[in-house]
Chain A
Amino acid sequence: MKYLDEYRDGKLAARIVDEICRVQTKPWVIMEVCGGQTHSIVKHGLDHLLPQGIELVHGPGCPVCVTPLEMIDKAHAIARRPNVIFCSFGDMLRVPGSDGDLFTIKSQGGDVRIVYSPLDCLKIARANPDKQVVFFAIGFETTAPANAMLAHAAKQQGVKNVSILVSHVLVPPAIAAILSSPDNRVQAFLGPGHVCAVMGYSEYEPLSRQFRVPIVITGFEPLDLLQGILMALQQLESGRAEVENQYSRVLGRDGNRPAQDLVLSVFEVGDRNWRGIGTIPASGYHLRAEYAEHDAEHLFDVGQIATRESEICISGEILKGNKKPHDCPAFGKQCDPQHPLGATMVSAEGACAAYYTYGRHLEQADKLTSINFAGAA
């Protein structure tokens, strides 16, 4: 398939892997920031192709994973209300709160709908004037423009019965938090391609300088990722620490300015709580005061929600790159996608779920060593 097969070519992959083997002289730890990148790495078995000294650790860039439990509980409390049509992206439906998931609420009579674009909520709202249509606006900078557009269009077109429940987080503060952590192991980053398509990558330059860390903005196809790893490795081996752009076919340094303007006209930056990590200052978006009438948190007083996470789950350590799914005693045993204990198992993009979906729990039980194809050392 055009624009896809080119980036999944086994021969080219083997060549890049050969080059990685040639350049590498010592062990390195590289973090891929995005859940989509983790997904692709495990789906295509890329980690099996790399030489042993290159360790990929999976980052915090899965929007579903880092949405705090209290926000999920808030969403569920709203979705349970009569006269509410609760709209969400698909993979949020299976995420358990303290008390069931959106599928359960749907089975109990709640009106829960999957939408593919936040703007679909406007149509639903017009068709159901007696209902309040609530959109669960989660995600990183990638989904922010479309979510901002919903609030903007609802206000401009006077569609009163649309509101959004915002749980938006930002990548650069998370990278800074990981690098500031005393037990940080990450030596280079594969930066978030989709996020930078919106935001550009200039805001990663001070991070790279301050922490002396290579950041390579990277795409999501297998060859993108292998090339991103090679570029990061070349920086590490030569002692450079810069921001480089592997994903230049999609984005430039400045990103998408009109999208950024829209986002900042609707949202303002504030503190956010990250599931598994904790509160990071200035790490997310909140609706601006002038959008209060479309702010679900303002419209629905769902009260204080107290939650407690599993004591056994190590998702926080996994999100920070300190541990891998296999290090968790519950992985594939008490914890699986049907019975997720924590952040990284709840979404398909979470590291634990990606490992599970592509059978890594079986691999562990199976005691099979990795099968290395191509030029892996």
Chain B
Amino acid sequence: MKQTASEQAKESSVPQATTVRSPLFGSCPLPIFEHKQIVLGHGSGGKLTADLIDKVFLPAFANPVLNKLDDQAVVHVNGVRLAFTTDSFVVTPIFFPGGDIGKLAVNGTVNDLAMSGARPLYLAAAFILEEGLLSEELQRVVESMRDAAQQAGVQLVTGDTKVVNRGKGDKVFITTTGVGVIDGSIEISASQALVGDKIIVSGYVGDHGMAIMSQRENLEFEGAIESDCAPLNSLVNAMLEVSGPDSECPVHVLRDPTRGGVATTLNEIAARSNVGMLLSESAIPVRESVQGACELLGLDPLYVANEGKLVAVVAPGAADAVLARMRDHELGRDASIIGEVVTEHAGMVRMKTLIGGTRILDVMFGEQLPRIC
């Protein structure tokens, strides 16, 4: 099977990347790692995604609404504040324990709206179907979307369908777009965290990501881990009913920690609000099954995706009341105060470890990769 150089050249159909030399090092032979192609990490929600937004999308589209980089845009139309968002779903496999791509597509967009304090009202859905997809599978996905929309109290009012050649898609991709109305004086944004605020997570972290991971074809562990996929608008409603001592809304920030997990989400909030955060590892709820799977694979549950959890930053005087209200709600039963907002180390998230040490939780820089040993 040995080949000559010319045979190899002929065979080598994959284009070679060009080495980019760092101007700082002159003769340094190692490439600066600027990707000439899009790699999977660009979709991970970590630093590579942020790079793409900063270098490609923001320069093209910059405007005051977009520049806020919240999970939803808040726009004013004739005195009404509308929350507006869109999200695409490409999950594999399309059916997984605890949900499917359809349920995810509805809840994902509902949750992005709810995190601004908005009442989600209407959704649009665009389907990209791969030639050969079983009609029965599409039917199951659509029925699941119908049920999810019903549960979230939203209506799917418009849509679009395209079909691509076999091999050009992966069964079905769904994009959902949603609008909602923000009532009264609710002002919730990632930039509103104040020193002294408590940080609350609504339940066990990492369930969705590990449920998906356990189903991937080349990872043959079977577990009872189910995705937490759920609409969070009714939980948010309950939280917003609690008023602070000064009758102002005590909920300052809401975020759903999807890709990149709780750690990445908290870093975004810390940076946007220019505050530090101090967490306590022992207060963070992680299921044993998720912890176990993460230990096996060398992953950190704080960086694993959630689809039915929220992180709230709440005024200290009302934190216990908000927590109690959350625990009364089905989706907040395991809610926990995991830390607080501090003046020190602005823009940075620190955590007291179980063992009594301290570490910094940084933003994830790409996909989490299983370690060798």
- On A, residues with C-beta under 8 Å from B are 1-2, 4-5, 8-10, 13-14, 36, 39, 42-49, 63-64, 80-83, 89-94, 96, 98-101, 103-110, 113-116, 120, 132, 138-140, 142-143, 194, 222-223, 299-301, 303, 307-312, 334, 336-342, 347-349, 356-360, 362-363, 366, 368, 370-371, 373-374
Contact = CB atoms under 8 A, between A and B. Distances in A.
Nearest to A139: B372
Counting from the closest, the 3 A-B pairs by CB-CB distance are A45-B357, A359-B360, A90-B370
A292 to B, nearest CB: 11
B12 A104 contact: no
B15 interface: yes
Contacts of B48: 338
A285 B329 CA distance: 58
B61 interface: no
Contacts of B31: 96, 98-100
A100 B348 CA distance: 31
B7 to A, nearest CB: 10
Interface string B4-30: 010010011111110100101101111
Contacts of B47: 338
Interface in B264-302: 288, 291-292, 295, 297-298
B55 interface: no
Contacts of A114: 218, 369-370
Given A63-B372, A300-B1, A81 B362 contact: no
B371 A348 contact: yes
B218 A116 contact: yes
Contact of B356 (A10, A349, A360): A10
B134 interface: no
A98 B29 contact: yes
A321 to B, nearest CB: 20
Nearest to A142: B373
B25 A358 contact: no
Contact of A194 (B2, B29, B355, B373): B373
User: SS class of chain B's interface: helix, strand, loop or mixed?
Assistant: loop
B175 to A, nearest CB: 22
A363 B359 CA distance: 10
B14 to A, nearest CB: 5
10 contacts: A10-B355, A93-B369, A116-B219, A116-B297, A223-B355, A300-B3, A348-B369, A349-B371, A357-B362, A368-B345
A43 B357 CA distance: 9
Contacts of B35: 104, 107
A341 B360 contact: no
B360 A338 contact: no
Contacts of A140: 373
Interface stretch (B36-44, B78-86, B143-151): B36-44
B17 A337 contact: no
A47 B370 CA distance: 25
A182 B32 CA distance: 34
Interface string B65-94: 000000000000000000000000000000
A125 to B, nearest CB: 14
Interface of B: 1-3, 5, 8, 11-17, 19, 22, 24-25, 27-33, 35-41, 47-48, 218-219, 288, 291-292, 295, 297-298, 344-345, 348, 350, 352-362, 365-366, 369-373
B17 A108 contact: yes
Contact of B355 (A44, A106, A301): A44
Best-buried of B14, B25, B345, B361 by chain A (most CB within 10 Å): B14
A206 B358 CA distance: 38
Contact of A308 (B29, B36, B37, B40): B29
A36 B25 CA distance: 31
A245 B27 CA distance: 47
A305 B227 CA distance: 46
Nearest to A360: B360
Contacts of A341: 28, 30
A85 to B, nearest CB: 12
B339 to A, nearest CB: 15
Contacts of A312: 25, 28
A104 B370 contact: no
A1 B291 contact: yes
A108 B37 contact: yes
Nearest to B24: A334
Contacts of B359: 42-45, 358-359
User: SS class of chain A's interface: helix, strand, loop or mixed?
Assistant: loop
Contacts of A348: 298, 369, 371
A5 B292 CA distance: 11
A371 B365 contact: no
B355 to A, nearest CB: 4
Nearest to A50: B357
A36 B13 CA distance: 38
Contacts of A116: 218-219, 297, 370
A83 B7 CA distance: 14
B353 A45 contact: yes
B369 A4 contact: no
Given A44-B359, A45-B358, A311-B27, A1 B372 contact: no
Nearest to A358: B359
Nearest to A222: B355
A109 B14 contact: yes
A109 B13 contact: yes
B360 A363 contact: yes
Given A80-B14, A110-B14, A14 B358 contact: no
Contact of B17 (A104, A349, A374): A104
Contacts of B12: 80-82
A300 B30 CA distance: 24
A344 to B, nearest CB: 13
B356 A92 contact: no
B218 A373 contact: no
Contact of B33 (A8, A307, A339): A339
B48 to A, nearest CB: 7
A249 B70 CA distance: 49
Contacts of A106: 39-40
A74 to B, nearest CB: 13
A303 B5 CA distance: 8
Contacts of A108: 14-15, 17, 37
A299 B17 CA distance: 24
Best-buried of B362, B371, B372 by chain A (most CB within 10 Å): B372
Nearest to B373: A142
A13 B14 contact: no
Given A43-B353, A374-B356, A36 B19 contact: no
A8 B354 contact: yes
B359 to A, nearest CB: 5
A1 B348 contact: no
